[in-house]
Structure 1
Amino acid sequence: MISKIVPVILAGGQGTRLWPMSRANRPKQFIELMGNRSLFQQTLERLGGSERYDAPIVVTNAEYRFVVAEQVQEAGVALGTILLEPAARNTAVAIASAAYYALDRDENAVLHILASDHAITADAAYYDAVNLADAAARDGWLVAFGIMPTRPDTGYGYIAVGDALINGASKVGRFVEKPDLAKAEAFLAEGGYVWNSGMFMIAAKTFIAECEALAPETAGAARGAVDLAKADLDFVRLDAAAFETAPRISVDYAIFEKTERAAVLPVSFDWSDLGSWDAVWAAQHPDASGNVVLGPALLSNTTNAMVMTTGAHVVIDGLDDIAVIASEDAIFVGRQSQAQRVGALVKQLKADPATRALTETHQTSYRPWGGYTSVLMADRFQVKRLFVKPGKKLSLQKHYHRSEHWVVVKGTAEVTIDGQVSVLTENQSIYLPLGCTHRLANPGKIQLELIEVQTGAYLGEDDIVRTEDDFGRAG
């Protein structure tokens, strides 16, 4: 009996080209771009719909561990392991770590390497491709999924299809960097080129053998990180000292462009990497005027527009080829056809101390217990909206530089102050003096929402001393 395929979901990227919705603390894989589920959750659900797959391994940055665990729980999909990367080192060491981890448990493990932020229609063509790639991987090939191009796109790398192998796969002729428009048009006219999807099917032992031969520094870092890994709640923390010795290199450069075992499987199922706002626009199926509108907006005499807003009502009149993306605290306006430039603009914002925070955090920050939105901040005071999920509680903590007032606007709050417990309902409030040890909990069955007013000399998030925490956080 052929063993099941082990999916490996790479969920550590930051998705800068979908700014301002995607930011370092909540990147695109964890936000809802397509329907009422995040892209990561849709990936999990796609895997749960096939008996060919075993429980997945998720590789993510340690900073995203709680949002990953939360979204896995919401999706209701059985999970194998969450491997936590202590630092960003690109895809080569991430995949190598997952391969060593899987190989230690099954010497015949076959891994399906998947991005967490792609939009895919999991139809019969998709599962046929999975089965073909699985067969080729078990024959010792490292298989890249190549998407049959439908346009001369400059946002994707390309793969030249070489000599045919069995099971529909072919040898890789060569990998091609993202081309200019003239080259992309030539590739489409010539044929024999496919988009590099970033999805792979590999036998763990074949990949590791090639990695040890072709990228020994990556292999050594991954082997050490897995050997010295430690369990932490529901996660596995890869060893930081070993992992951080890995070079910052993609799996394409480290392995696939060097190995003699590289194969490509041309496929034609519905796929998008949603790597830019024009890709989101195309995946959303524009209306008769070529417009996609997500959120409150009015469009007049406007064509080929991508509009997404999380609050502000957007009005556009008399424009074509426009993208307007309005978050709580930042707005991007640009040509739809030049959406690939957003990543470069984010680098400029990040380089300026005055705008760096706009690339890193949203006004709404998410925590394992819920989250908060910054409403107003001025000298010596700050107003926040807190929301706590049913059955969750914050850490037992205190502040040295601020006091707080809490007003319940929805649900029931259980508040502990210096060991004394109070229960508050809607329209009730409580004062937390500076230095008190306190905790907020939601004992109810609906989300708790309250307004928090902070006053004091220093209002930073690092003015928290935790003495107890359900989520393993310290300090």
Structure 2
Amino acid sequence: MTRIMLRVTLDQRIRPIILSGGAGTRLWPLSTAERPKQFLPLVGDSSLLHQTFARVADAVLFSAATVICGAGHIEQVEETARDASVGAPRIIAEPAARNTAAAVALAALTAADDDELLLILPSDHHIAYPEAFRATVDAARAGAEAGLIVTFGMKPTRIETGFGYVQTGARLAGAVLRAERFIEKPDAARAEAMIASGDHLWNGGIFLATARTFIEGFAAHSPDILAAVRASLSEPGAMIVTPDREAFAAVPAQAFDHAVMEKFDRVGVIPSDFGWSDVGSWLAAFDHAPRDGDGNAVESGSVVIGGAGNLVRSSGPQIVALGVEGLMLLATDDVVLVAPLADAQRVREAHAWYQANRKN
């Protein structure tokens, strides 16, 4: 009888919780604090947030999305939702950036009920195969219903030192395996060895669990975050939730992985292969962009003449590049960035210089 009651309670649509924070400084100068990368068409003709809305629009599998964003981005979120024809999302407007642990706690504490299934997913990732994504989410349900926090582990496609990894263990529920341990940004030799072992996946930052399980994870390992977030909420059931500014500023800023996932004893991982990319740099954007016959990814209106392997994007002036190779040429109305594509991870250095020396 208890098992039947549990199934009735948990056999429900999944609530997408779209995390739309961050400034995307590795995608500067087009990505800025005012219009970060999730609002930009970095892969394809629509923005990454637009694509995320479309990915979770299946009304059989998903209920209406909740978006957690900065207070200054509410209008951009609403506009993107209208463009994606998904209806008005519920919005939780953070008065300050406090990292992903605070965002997950906000999602859990504002859920419809403790048994609601919550899919935590970033707004600024690219998924090449949305149907495979939805099938994987549905398969992960068994683990979430069993009381696990399920993380989505991406099949590695290269030796990558900029990602976190998760080691898989025994089967726990359906396709969900035990998450044995998390490894943060290993060096190249260790990354190569882990991939060769066949039991390590990239940690994609996507999580599925009931609100109750998320709360239990915080209560066990980061009760200070849980208490501070709870103290900031006065109307958790509103369509636009606005935590108290002063109370929310007291929330410890910590990543959800460090606050809960690496310590909780009920963590599963589902192996995933749906063409995931975090679009974390201009090199990643270049990898997903259409190219001309010389391997150039050039936005309409600009041109590369007699050059190869370049990325050209502009929200301002036209760019005309002559005889250059392997460069990113990026422009806005007030700044131009030119650098080798191979140095895409150094864009933050350029952004820091610009912030310190910009002309008012």
Equivalent-residue separation in structure 2 for 1:79 and 1:52 (angstroms): 18
User: Match for 1:310: what amino acid?
Assistant: S
Q: How does 1:52-201 map to 2 (within 5 A)?
A: 52-102=61-111, 105-201=112-208
Which one of the candidate residues 183, 205, 212 is aligned to 2:212? Answer: 205
Using the alignment, how far apart are the partners of 2:26 and 2:350 within structure 1? 9
Deviates more, 1:291-300 or 1:21-30: 291-300
CA distance, structure 1, for counterparts of residue 290 and residue 171 of structure 2: 35
Distance 1:319 1:153, change over 3 A: farther
> Among the aligned pairs, what percent are the same residue?
38
Paired with 1:288 and 1:187, the residues of 2 have a C-alpha distance of: 36
The answer for unaligned runs of 5 or more in structure 1 is 358-475
Give how far 1:50 is off.
Answer: 4.5
1:329 and 1:60 map into 2 onto residues whose CA distance is: 26
Aligned residue in 1 for 2:3: none
1:332 is matched with which residue? 337
Change (3 A) 1:108 1:69: same
Letter in 2 for 1:77: V
| 8 Å contact from structure 2 (residues 17, 107) kept in 1 | yes
* C-alpha contact (below 8 Å) 2:221/2:264 kept by paired residues: yes
Report SS of the residue matched to 1:210. Answer: helix
CA shift, 1:264, in A, is 1.2
Structure 2 CA distance, aligned partners of 1:241 and 1:341?
Answer: 35
Code of the aligned partner of 1:71: T
Q: What is the rounded CA distance, in whole Å, between the counterparts of 2:290 and 2:180 in structure 1?
A: 34
> Offset at 1:51?
1.6
Q: Note the C-alpha offset of 1:261.
A: 1.1
Tell me if the contact between 1:229 and 1:239 (Cα under 8 Å) persists in the aligned partners. no
TM-score of the superposed pair, with normalisation by structure 1: 0.70
State the one-letter code of the partner of 1:174.
Answer: R
Partner of 1:296: 301
Higher strand share: 1
Residue 266 of structure 2 is matched in structure 1 by 261
The whole-number CA distance in structure 1 between the counterparts of 2:186 and 2:346 is 15
Deviation at 1:82, TM superposition (A): 0.4
- Measured on the aligned residues, the alpha-carbon RMSD in Å equals 2.0
The structural deviation recorded for 1:63 is: 1.0
The aligned runs of 1:326-405 (5 Å cut-off) are 326-350=331-355, 352=356, 354-355=357-358
The alignment status of 1:21 with 2:24, answered yes or no, reads no
List per-residue Cα deviations over 1:172-213 (Å, max 9, x = no partner).
Answer: 122122233333333333322211111111111011011011
Residues 208-254 of structure 1: CA deviation (Å, up to 9, x unaligned): 011011001110012122245695xx622112232221111000000
CA contact (8 A) 2:16 2:121 kept: yes
Q: Deviations over 1:136-170 (max 9, x none)?
A: 11111101111101111233222122223222221
Q: What is the alpha-carbon distance in structure 1 between the residues aligned to residue 230 and residue 194 of structure 2?
A: 39
Task: Mark the CA change 1:328 to 1:250 in structure 2 (over 3 Å): closer, same or farther.
Answer: same
Q: Is the 8 A contact 2:66 2:91 kept in 1?
A: yes
Greater share of residues in helix = 2
Mean alpha-carbon deviation: is it higher for 12-21 or for 297-306? Answer: 297-306
Q: Is the 8 A contact 1:153 1:181 kept in 2?
A: yes
CA contact (8 A) 1:230 1:239 kept: no
> Relative contact order: is structure 1 or structure 2 higher (C-alpha 8 Å, sep ≥ 6)?
2
Q: Which runs of 4+ in 1 moved over 4 A?
A: 228-231
Q: TM-score, normalised by structure 2?
A: 0.91
User: How many residues align structurally?
Assistant: 351
Q: CA deviation at 1:38?
A: 1.6
Aligned to 1:222: 229
Alignment correspondent of 1:360: none
C-alpha distance in 2 between matches for 1:3 and 1:356: 53
Deviations along 1:99-121, whole A, 9 cap, x unmatched? 1100xx22210100011111113
Residue 347 of structure 1 and its aligned partner are, at CA, apart by: 2.5
Q: How far off is 1:71 after superposition?
A: 1.8
Alignment of 1:277-288 (within 5 A): 277-288=282-293
Equivalent residues of 1:31, 1:39 under 8 A apart: yes
Does the C-alpha gap of structure 1 residues 221 and 72 become closer, same or farther in structure 2, counting only changes over 3 Å?
same
Contact 1:230 1:238 in 2 (8 A): no
Pair member with larger Rg: 1
Q: Report what 2:46 is aligned to.
A: 37
